[in-house]
Structure 1
C-alpha cells in the first residue's frame, strides 16, 4: 500500500494547485517590476523565466523519481539519514510558511486598500484563516477540489481586459531590445517571484495518482501562468506609456479603473473580490505544506494540531505587527532571493549529489 494513497490527487487537481500557487504573489505588480528593470522589453523576461522554470521542474521530478512514494524529507532520510531528513523538513516548513505569510500580508493590504479600508488587519486575517483551516485541515484531496472550483470560477477575469485594447498603443513595445539583452537578463529575478511555488513538487509528487504525468502537469500549470503574466503585462505595456507604468505599484488593477460596463460601476472592486480566492489557493496550500513538514519531522500523523497553533500565532502576530506597503515589498524581495535558492539552485545541487552518490555506490558494489 502506498504511504500517501488516502490523499491522492488527480492530474487536473495537481495542475490547479500549482497554478493557484504561482498566480498569486507578485502577479499584480509584475508589469511595474519588469518595467523598472527592462522598460517595455520586460515581457521577454517572462518567457525566459518560464523556460528556466520548466527546466528546474524537470530536475525536481528526476529527483523525486529516486523515491516516488515519498516526499523530499522521505527521500533525504533514505539517502542521508533521518536527521538530515528532519532538518530539511523543518527548513522546507519555514520556507512554505514564509511564502504563505508574504501572500496573506499582500492580500490583507489589497483588501484594506480596495475593499475594507477601516477594518483592522488582524480582523481580516481572522476572516481569511477560518475558511483556510476548514479546507487545510481536511487534507490535500480537499485542497485539490477547492483549487478546481476556484480556477473554474476565475476564468472570466482575463476576459474583461480585452476592453482595454481599444485604447492600446502598440508602438510602446517598439523597438525590441532597446538596450540589448542585459536589461532583459537583469529582469529575470523579478520575473522569478511570479514563478516560484513549483517546489510544491517536493511534496505533491507522491500524492499524484499517475506520477508519469507529473512533468506534463507542471508544464501545463507553468505555461498557463506564463500566458497569464504575458497577457496582463503586455496589456499594461501597451496601455500605459513607458514612463507612466512605473508610477503605479499595481498596474494590473489600476488599468481596470478605466474599464466601464453598464452593469457594474467599479470593476476593479469586483476583480479584487474574486482574486481573493486565487490568493487563498496560494496561502492555504503552502500553509498545509508547512504543517505537513513539521508533522513529518516530529513523527505526527495528524497535522491539525500544528495547523491550529500556526493560525492562532498568525492572528496574534498580526495584532502586534502589520507590515506596511513598503515592508511588504521588502518581504517579497527576500522571498524572491530565498525562492531562487530553494527552488532553482537547491534541486540542481541535490540532483548532482544523488548522481554522484549512485555512481560511487555502484563502483563500491562492483
Structure 2
C-alpha cells in the first residue's frame, strides 16, 4: 500500500507540481555536459518564467545549443538537474517531450515533400489521425503565411519559408514551451523581421519561448531577460536594460582624426575617469563607458587640451555588444569553435 501511495503521490507531483515550480517553465541548476575532457556546458543555471521570451546569448561554441539539447532531452545531462514545468528532465523525459516544441538551427523538413505533406507527416508521427493532421497542417500554413505555397516542394522554398515551416512543425502538438535554436541564422534582414513578428505573436498567444542567438539585436528586440554565456558558463543575466546599465549609464563614442593616436587618447581618458576605454582601431576611435553622462565634457576637454583632434563624438546608451565585450573581453563573433553535440 505504501508503494502504491508513493507512486500516486509522485504522479500527482508531475501533473500538479508545487506552486513555485508552476511559475517556472524551465528550472535548471548546475547543468554540465562534457565531451571527453572538454566541458561544453560547465555549471549553467537557467530559470525561465511562464509567458516570457528568455534569450541565451553567446558566440558559436559557447554552449547554447548543447544546453538547449539537454533541456529538450536530446542529450543526456552529465551533471546538475533540470525540470520543465516542474517535471524532471532525467526522470520523466517522455513527459517533458509532450511539453516542448523544438526548432533547431537546421530545418528538419523533407525537401522532396510539399509543405502540406511535411506537416501531415509530422502530425501522424505525433499520433494524429489523417483528417486531424490535414486540418492542423492547413491551419498552421495559414497562420504562418504559407498557404499559397502549401502544395510546393520544400526544395523550391526560400530559406525564410523553410524556417517558418520548421517552426510551424514544432507547434503541431501545441506545446506550452518552445525552444528556438538560432531561428534566424542565415536569413536576410526582411525575413528576420518576419520571424521576429511570428515569435511575438506566439508569446501573445500564451507560449513561453527559450531562444538561443548570437545576434545581439535579436536578443535586444525579443528577449524579456537574457543570460549571457561564454565558454560553457553563464557570465551575466538580466533584462536588456539591466545588462546595458551594468557597463555604464551611457557610452561616449569617439572617432579620432589620427587613427594612430588611439593609445594616447586611451591613456588620457583613463587618467580623467580612472577606467580605460575600449579601443576600436578599425574605426580609429574608442568607446568610453560613463557612469555620469556629464563626464563626457571632461573627456572631450582633456583630449582637446592634448591637441588630439576629434572627427565625431556622440553619447549613446550602451549596446549589448559593448556589454558582451565588457563581460568576456571579446565580441560575439570572435569564436570560430563549433559546439560539440552528439
**Shorter-chain TM-score category?**
under 0.3
Say which structure is richer in helix: 1
Say which structure is richer in strand: 2
TM-score scaled by length of structure 2: 0.24
TM-score scaled by length of structure 1: 0.22
Which structure's relative contact order is higher, taking Cα pairs within 8 Å and 6+ residues apart? Answer: 1
Largest Rg, 1 or 2: 2
